[in-house]
Amino acid sequence: MMKKQLSLILALLLLLSVLSGCGGETAPAQTEAAPAEAEAAPAQTEETPPEEAETTTEPEDTRTVVDDGRARPSSCGVLQVVGGKLCAQDGEPVMLRGVSLNGLVTSESFLNEATFRELAEDDGVNLFRLAMYTYGVGSVGYCTGGDKDRHKEDVARGVELAREYDMYVLIDWHILSDGDPNLYADEAEAFFAEMAGLYADYDNVLYEICNEPNHVDWPTVKRYAERIIPVIREKDPDSVVIVGNPDWSKDLATVAADPLDFDNIMYTLHFYAATHGQDLRDLTERVSQNGLPVFVTEYGVTASSGGFPRDLESADAWIELLERENISYCLWAYSKAPEPCSVLRSTTLGYSGFKEENYTETGLWLLKTLAEHSSR
């Protein structure tokens, strides 16, 4: 009986040890997993090494350098007025010899790479004038319901093309029928503030703030200039600004007696060779030699209407004077309009790749004149 009881006790003890052994091994295994997860968490929250900052480089200057001995932005930099003369950045006098569109919107097809490349590299042009009419019909007049965005897009295209092909560019506020520049002075102020802000860092941009004032006196034009020039200077303090004057920009005597009090200012002279002869040449020579900074932003070899006759002898006399006095000049007009002042025949197809037969007598005279005057 005792043996049976002892055997029963031993069996119970064995069963209890087996049962306690199963529970004791599984529980620790579960509790050890938690520390493992806790150790894994810091690994997930470790900061990843920062990526190296990207380095930026200035875009490569891909502008074409035209090395023909003429004054170019690549060789002369930002222009200035010194001693009454247009000068390079180094202070030495320069000559700009160029062409003017006869209207920005109406001639915008000429604003293409091929035309600008040929003008610069083949013809010797180093100035392109963007004539933007302020008064006009339909889309033409910037201040009379014209498409302002389209005008400014054309200006931007012309500035960039001139920059690309190593030419200076003249942004021309082309008043004509409006006569008094104060008529649209508010629009002029906004326009030139925008242009000067856009092109302050460009080395090839000049500003012409009133093409041909007419039926107004010099004090009226001067008041306008004294309003617009500071707007440009606020954004672009070093640019050359060219100011028109009464009598369709021929009244240099009045200007010389009462000039503006700003640096880097020049005064417009316009002439048409078959209308304006020796008297105006004598006045131009006199005021230039007395120190007035003169810039011929527009001239023609025809009558002042742009029509016949052409007077190439008078035109040659004008060029001889301008070259002698270091007065830059820009021909009216780079156009196919059917009028004698146009460089190209109205029957010309396309807007580049011109051959000799595509040029009018005016155009052939221009090419000859540019070829004969290639100095800086």
User: Active site residue: 47, 121, 208, 212, which one?
Assistant: 212
Question: Cα(113)–Cα(231) distance, rounded to whole angstroms?
Answer: 31
User: What are the start-end ranges of the H helices in the chain?
Assistant: 2-45, 73-76, 113-118, 148-164, 185-199, 218-235, 246-249, 252-257, 278-289, 312-324, 361-372
Question: Cα(81)–Cα(263) distance, rounded to whole angstroms?
Answer: 7
H/E stretch holding 68? none
Which amino acid appears at position 84 of this protein?
G
Find out whether 186 and 228 touch, Cβ atoms under 8 Å. no
3-class DSSP string for 231-300: HHHHHCCCCCEEECCHHHHCCHHHHHHCCCCCCCEEEEEEEECCCCCHHHHHHHHHHHHCCCCEEEEEEE
Question: Cα(179)–Cα(197) distance, rounded to whole angstroms?
Answer: 27
**Is 108 noted as a catalytic residue in this protein?**
no
CA distances from 182 to 145, 177, 210 (A): 18, 13, 10
Classify the phi-psi angles of 179: left when phi > 0, otherwise alpha if psi is within -120 to 50, otherwise beta. Answer: left
**Is 60 noted as a catalytic residue in this protein?**
no
User: Active site residue: 153, 298, 313, 323, which one?
Assistant: 298
Cα R_g (the chain), whole angstroms: 38
Q: Number of C-alpha atoms within 13 angstroms, CB side, residue 130?
A: 27
- Which of 224, 222, 226, 223 is CA-nearest to residue 251? 222
Strand 127-133 vs strand 97-101: parallel, antiparallel, or unpaired? parallel
What the block records as the tokens of 162 is: 């001139």
Enzyme catalytic residues: 212, 298
